[in-house]
Amino acid sequence: MSSETATPLDDFLNQLESLAADAETAFNAAGDDEQLEQARVEFLGARQGRLKSVQKNMGKVAGEDKPAAGKKLNEVKNAIQAAFEQAQEKLAGAAAERVRDPQFDVSLPGAAPRIGRLHPITQTIEELKDIMGRLGFTPADGPEVEDPWHNFEALNIPEIHPARDPLDNFYLSVAGAQHDTAPDRLLRSQTSTVQIRVMENTQPPIRIISLGRVYRPDTADPTHYPMFHQMEGLLIDRDVSLADLKTVLRLFATNYLGESVPVRIRPSFFPFTEPSVEADYHWNGKWVEFGGAGMVDPNVLNSVGYDPEVWSGFAFGLGVERLCMIRHQITDIRDLFTNDVRFLRQF
């Protein structure tokens, strides 16, 4: 006779305990709603559920033990139900978390960032600097607000010269200036001003370009604008000839247009060059004018203190807009300054 033999009550209680533990493990292991539902049916299912089958064993428990067995049954039933609800909440919380912090879908097409671009004039300027740099010309700068000495006087344009007419220049009213004297500041009308500024401060030989804005009171139309850009070039050395000028212009045009282009020069006049020429290149079956040029006038060399017997040189001034427009088949200069992004995005 062994009094240690487990009673039916003990058996029943043990079954309930392990059922509760199994149920809790299964509920916690469920990774999604579907798995949790499967576990619920397995343990709490009204017909085939494991709780139901354990419950049937209550019949084996002796009559006087039934109250204790029933009490435990209720406790376990509630515990299993609570474990189920807890697992359910856990899954709902995880789902909400996923919505708030969605997994990065690497297969989605990327949202391309909007990248800005350089203005076509800026692009042209960079390219011109690059080409002329390879020919040995270094960029130089000068102010856009100039005095008459650098814009006219030193460039051999005396006070009585028609190029100084107030109708052809943007003179500025300067605070404190006398009304009866000529205005002493203007927006530069040409980048030739930088020739003077460089020569005043440097001894020859000189080989510079200057790219920047110039201003003239022109009415805007497809080929005119009151502000535009020029590329000035200046080379000063011993024994410089017109042939050197023509060579540089031809090398420049060939580099810029990407094919060998013939260049021609026609006689012209500028106060600061002698002789003066107009330069054209042959492009797409016709001659296209691309700027003024010439041999630096001895008067200009004198005005900056160079000896014209020792030093000679050439200068040229090209319109940047014109070069840009020809390259990109732009037909109206105003498009370059309206800054409509639909236009600018094409370059």
- Is 151 one of the binding residues for ligand PHE (CB under 6 A)? no
The CB-of-233 to ligand PHE minimum distance in angstroms stands at 7
Distance CA 292, CA 163 (A): 15
For ligand PHE, which residue of 124, 169, 210, 273 counts as binding (CB under 6 A)?
A: 273
Mask for 228-257, x = binds ligand PHE (CB under 6 A): ----x-------------------------
Q: Does 212 bind ligand PHE (CB under 6 A)?
A: no
HEC string for the chain: CCCCCCCHHHHHHHHHHHHHHHHHHHHHHCCCHHHHHHHHHHHHCCCCCHHHHHHHHHHHCCHHHHHHHHHHHHHHHHHHHHHHHHHHHHHHHHHHHHHHCCCCCCCCCCCCCCCCCCCHHHHHHHHHHHHHHHCCCEECCCCCEECHHHHCHHHCCCCCCHHHCHHHCEECCCCCCCCCCCCCCEECCCCHHHHHHHHHHCCCCEEEEEEEEEECCCCCECCECCEEEEEEEEEEECCCCHHHHHHHHHHHHHHHHCCCCCEEEEEEEECCEEEEEEEEEEECCEEEEEEEEEEECHHHHHHCCCCCCCCEEEEEEEEHHHHHHHHHCCCCCCHHHHCCHHHHCCC
- Please, which residue, 55 or 190, has the CB nearer to ligand PHE? 190
> Which of 210, 292, 303, 304 touches ligand PHE (CB under 6 A)?
292
Q: Which residue is nearest to ligand PHE (CB)?
A: 317
Task: Output the smallest distance, CB 292 to ligand PHE, in A.
Answer: 3
Among 186, 281, 317, 330, binds ligand PHE (CB under 6 A): 317
The answer to whether residue 142 forms part of the interface with ligand PHE (CB under 6 A) is no
Per CB under 6 A, contacts with ligand PHE among 29-58 are none
- Candidate ranges 47-55, 116-124, 219-227, 292-300; the one touching ligand PHE (CB under 6 A): 292-300
Q: Are 326 and 315 in contact (CB under 8 A)?
A: no
Of the residues 128, 208, 316, 320, which one makes contact with ligand PHE according to CB under 6 A: 316
Residue 294 binds ligand PHE, judged by CB under 6 A: yes
Nearer to ligand PHE, 41 or 163 (CB): 163
User: At its nearest, how many Å lie between ligand PHE and the CB of residue 175?
Assistant: 29
Site map (CB under 6 A) of ligand PHE, residues 163-202, x = contact: ---------------------------x-x----------
Interacting residue ranges for ligand PHE, rule: CB under 6 A: 190, 192, 232, 270, 273, 292-294, 315-317
